[in-house]
A and B are shown apart, each in its own frame.
Chain A
């Protein structure tokens, strides 16, 4: 296992290196000039030029890239031009909100995904199968923002039991924070849960056709025992891979959900950064997202190997 993880290091470093180049180039390819934004309303060309000089935008690209990357290694993430605050501090102040949102959404995604998958992967009457398939397909086809609006309508406006706007950190007041978190997390998770559920359902139905399931039945095992002890553990691979991939998706989905529920998270910060051509901030956020995606994929591989003795993690 350790050897496997060491073996993965070169490819992980390569991915992060390539991502850093993309993160560096992409904002600079987009139209617009940060110096113009930074120089304030109606700047003269001389003012713009002075700002450009001060921020180092007229240095060669390679030099700018190297100074940024070296800064990252030193733990210096740079300073946001627009907000005029160190980026590390900016991110830290927002990260709790987004992590709580994505974390609870991941929990919802896994629980609901497994519930849907296990139900769909069981033998069902025709009517129940139809109802489940319809629910699942509707969930798959509904984008998170629409789910969000429906949830707001039902729980916030008709039933009036959950807050629909704003946030309270879990560390400040856990109960209240959770109330604020429930709807956005659910909105973010539902579509993804349907994906996980569909994958789990398909592999469980395939596993049911295997001979070792017949052997379990021939032993006298009850249907529940067959499902939970034999079918489910042998059908997890696809679902776990998809959960690993979906974690990244949850982060990107957070941008829209944060806007709808007026949460001050990293998603909102990212939107602001792009609108303002805040190069350093964009770069750092992109790299951060890539690192999280890579890590969650790596974790899902380790989880899979620990659940399935046939997979040995070897370099």
Chain B
């Protein structure tokens, strides 16, 4: 890492942004300062609510009400952006400072053609129509979109997530900005796509000498991308420095605990699992046609097997991870197991009983044996029911006698590490991690032997993620639970699984012990997934 030789492009000094609520004034960004040099990538890391996105929006003067930049200065070259009038600020946005967003699907206008969205950012800053079109085509090929001419006329819903993010980047690059603010640019993408987008950003940095402010919660992304890093916690910068130093030898206690919570690709594996009996859940040659039942008057949709000949078994006390990227069929598989989708072939056995037909009696048997924990703890709890009501309902369904329900609810709350008083709270009063604990408590109500965990920690911050993983491992040891753990995050999978099955386009391409998969993967797709997962080691940078 050579020392920067250029003058800084962006200097933020003592920035304070507040949100005024009826109860209090929250200092979302509290005395944040940093300097950004051309051709360098500065990372801002922190967990949700740390103020990293508000910092980015403050620079763009795009903080949503009731937020307000209170004090500090934001020097772009020799101009303080805080002193510009709105009109002058508009000419800075998109021309000098551009922004890319987390979710490209949400960030692109659904009803305007891709080409017109790029042209717009050029025309706003005064380029003529003909020149703008030529430049837009050039940008599309620069960000690696095949067939720019064709892409120009299409809409965002006709593209995959990775392609959409390339379009968002093309829009940001349109006017050759000197600063690019990337707010979680790869969080919504699959890991192999993430690797491609990060590669693209690195290339643009080198080729165009752009300064990038990269906001992320992912330490792996920081390790791969950033020259320097700021760690934010509750609105303040708690640590700063060159990436290698901050990641390898953090000084502030928050950074230390954060780094300890991050699942590492080199941490010790779980002890191998020896099955001591028949599997609690066994699926063989399962197929699911997701187009079944979608019939119209004239024709029937051609069958589409999202799950195509999958065999997998989960023993009591064992964690089997199912990894794969979005659309590979992993969620369809789990939903077929609990009977949300009908199967088109193969068998499902729960506790030795064949339940493939999913008769009402089969369903009762499945409900007793297998429970589901959802990814999003925010939407999987009914907002109008207290935690207690949600758990009590699950207990009643499981046939717990009325006299025992309260007692069992309290017991379940203790099991997942929540105080009994919290039974009377509504979901909004809980944090994400606490909600996921309630989701787990609900799943445990019926004494199920197998939990299907569908991305149970993906929506959580790393420190909370570590706590939930610990809880899951403890419950497994105490109750002999079998887990079918669905995830796209290989580092998490490596930490919790005994066995791993890799799914690609509806089929399991490779299955083995965690050690076999992570140390001697044979399938090229598995190898690609592993290579794409960001490592925490800065020296290992691609």
Contacts and interface: CB of A to CB of B under 8 A. Distances in A.
Contacts, number: 83
A271 interface: no
Nearest to B91: A220
B531 interface: no
Contacts of B171: 215, 219
Interface stretch (A33-41, A160-168, A206-214, A287-295): A206-214
B95 interface: yes
Interface string A116-140: 0000000000000000000000000
Contacts of A7: 296-298
A75 B111 CA distance: 44
Interface in A256-315: 307-310, 315
B60 A218 contact: yes
Contact of A220 (B110, B112, B124): B124
B85 to A, nearest CB: 13
Contacts of B90: 220-222
A310 B157 contact: yes
A43 interface: no
B173 to A, nearest CB: 12
Chain B CB within 10 A, most for which of A7, A10, A221, A229: A221
A95 to B, nearest CB: 34
B510 interface: no
Contact of A219 (B106, B111, B120): B120
Contact of B103 (A211, A217, A219, A221): A211
B107 A310 contact: no
Interface string B339-373: 00000000000000000000000000000000000
Sorting the interface of chain A by its residue count into under 10, 10 to 19, 20 to 34 or 35 or more gives 20 to 34
Interface in A200-240: 210-212, 214-222, 225, 229-230, 233-234
B132 to A, nearest CB: 13
B120 A221 contact: yes
Interface residues of B, number: 31
B296 A315 contact: yes
Contacts of A309: 110-111, 155, 157
B99 A218 contact: yes
Nearest to B181: A218
Contact of B95 (A10, A220, A222, A225): A220
B108 A212 contact: yes
B465 interface: no
Contacts of A215: 99, 101, 107-109, 168, 171
Interface string A174-215: 000000000000000000000000000000000000111011
Nearest to A217: B62
B194 interface: no
Contacts of B120: 216, 219, 221, 229
A221 B124 contact: yes
A227 B60 CA distance: 19
Given A307-B111, A310-B155, A219 B124 contact: yes
Contacts of A210: 106
B124 A10 contact: no
B94 A218 contact: yes
Contacts of B102: 211
B95 A218 contact: no
Given A211-B101, A221-B124, A310-B155, A234 B297 contact: no
B124 A315 contact: no
Given A214-B101, A219-B120, 10 more contacts: A211-B103, A215-B99, A215-B101, A217-B93, A218-B60, A218-B94, A219-B98, A221-B90, A233-B111, A234-B110
For the complex of A and B, the 3 pairs showing the least CB-CB separation, nearest first, are A220-B94, A211-B106, A219-B94
